[in-house]
A and B are shown apart, each in its own frame.
Chain A
Amino acid sequence: MAQRPGPVLRIATPIRALAQRFAFLMLLAGAIGLVVLGKIDTLLVERVRVHVADAFTPILGALSEPLRTAESMVEELRDLGRLRAENDLLREQNERLLRWQTVARKLESENRELRELLNFKSGRIPNQVTARVIADSGGAFVRSVLVDAGARDGVEKGLAAVTGLGLVGRVIEVGRRSARILLVTDLNSRIPVVLAGSGQRAVLAGDNSDRPRLLYLPADLNILAGERVVTSGHGGVFPPGLPVGMIARVGQGEVRVEPLIGWSELDIVRLIDFRQPIDELAGPPVLDLDPGR
């Protein structure tokens, strides 16, 4: 920048360069230190991360609003194009669902009668919070999302995150106004599940791909693609029977599960406290996903 370097500058320049190099090395060491610290003191690093996420939550929330509008407009345009085909499909589906409704009504009344007969007390209604996804890691190394509800809304660590389709993941970090959800596809996600058809237990293990694997299955088990996978309720974080996905692929000693959630459409999630107090574990847990109650 200086046109004619004077004597002071001639000495100062190498010193400044040295200082800069030193500062650079310190920062590099600091970055590695942070990584190591994250391994040793998980809680401290988590708190720092939660604070940063909290600080950015209003910005993320505000920015995601117009994005959502644009997305829904594109979606609407696309819908217009396939209106006729969809109409036919829906009419057919409606007919089928009406038949199911009759069956459901009958079962409901039967269920009520049987409950009265047994003097059955239904369990507590789980504490639940509805939240919007405001940030998606989108990285290849973690699968988690940030939602715009935190401790002030009653979110706690360990709550299950679900949509109308099924299980999304669970809350791992909670800030004042934001919370991070570890998706079932993340490398660190392990969920006890059961195959709905055979009743075989397994563990659903994420590996950052879109389709998590099933672990601890007996080798001689005959598994068919399309079989439903639901939570088993072991471990107490999730209730039994929460839908997770379908068997997608079986082969080479590896069973993959296609989650029911379309990851790209993940928008609104419900965070539900399914963790049962010890004394209530004896009774069957109540699975109530109806937000109206």
Chain B
Amino acid sequence: MNSGTWTRIDQLARKLAPFVTTVLLVVLSCLPISVPGMGSIAPAIALMAVFYWTIQRPELLPPIAVFAIGFIQDALSGEVLGLSSFVFLLVHAIVVGQRRFFLGKSFLLTWWGFTVVAAGAEFVLWVLASLVALHLIDPEPVLMQTVLTIALFPCVSWLLVRVHRAFLASADA
């Protein structure tokens, strides 16, 4: 009985792994990291995590969790509240629809898929942010951010694969 409760708690903790790691990455991406020459542009790490978990374990990252991740991202980074939630939800919906295309394929293909998704997501963000600001936002930093996000995707994926194996390997089998 007692061990059953513990097993259930353990399972719940494992099931929360996608959400918790993504929130953790959101917090990490907000830390003031100074990389000389990089300026103040940071990659959209949360987008990578949403993309990764949506492909691998969409049932553990339901839309409400995606919404919450976007909400925390906006609240911490000071961006317009709701924008990231909206874009993450769109990414989630599109990737769920194309999941079979990515599952079990080579990493290069996944990376290519992420390139398309990230470029689209940043473009939508840029259009929406410009609309909200009633001013055409300088596209250069947005472009920089997109390139950086795509370039760093392999690193973050590697990390997420480790987390995935550590917490959810038994559940995957």
Contacts and interface: CB of A to CB of B under 8 A. Distances in A.
Given A23-B63, A31-B89, A56-B27, A140 B82 contact: no
B74 to A, nearest CB: 8
A24 interface: yes
A3 to B, nearest CB: 15
Main secondary structure of the interface of A (DSSP, over half): helix
Contacts of B29: 138
A111 B57 CA distance: 71
A135 B32 CA distance: 5
Contacts of A248: none
A138 B33 CA distance: 9
B82 A264 contact: no
A15 interface: no
Given A27-B67, A56-B27, A134 B32 contact: yes
Given A31-B67, A135-B30, A187 B133 contact: yes
Interface in B62-80: 63-64, 66-67, 70-72, 74-80
B33 A135 contact: no
B160 interface: no
B169 interface: no
Contact of B78 (A67, A71, A137): A137
Nearest to B145: A140
Interface residues of A, number: 53
A92 interface: no
B42 A208 contact: no
B35 to A, nearest CB: 7
Interface string B117-151: 00000100110110011010110111011000000
B89 A67 contact: no
B138 A138 contact: no
A207 interface: yes
A53 B38 contact: no
Interface of B: 27-36, 38-42, 63-64, 66-67, 70-72, 74-83, 85-86, 89-90, 93, 122, 125-126, 128-129, 132-133, 135, 137-138, 140-142, 144-145
Given A35-B132, A67-B31, A136-B31, 12 more contacts: A27-B66, A28-B90, A31-B70, A52-B75, A60-B30, A135-B76, A136-B42, A138-B40, A141-B126, A141-B137, A209-B141, A264-B39
24 contacts: A20-B63, A27-B64, A30-B82, A31-B67, A56-B27, A59-B27, A63-B28, A134-B32, A135-B77, A137-B30, A138-B30, A138-B40, A140-B126, A140-B137, A140-B141, A140-B145, A141-B79, A141-B126, A142-B80, A144-B77, A146-B78, A207-B137, A209-B141, A264-B36
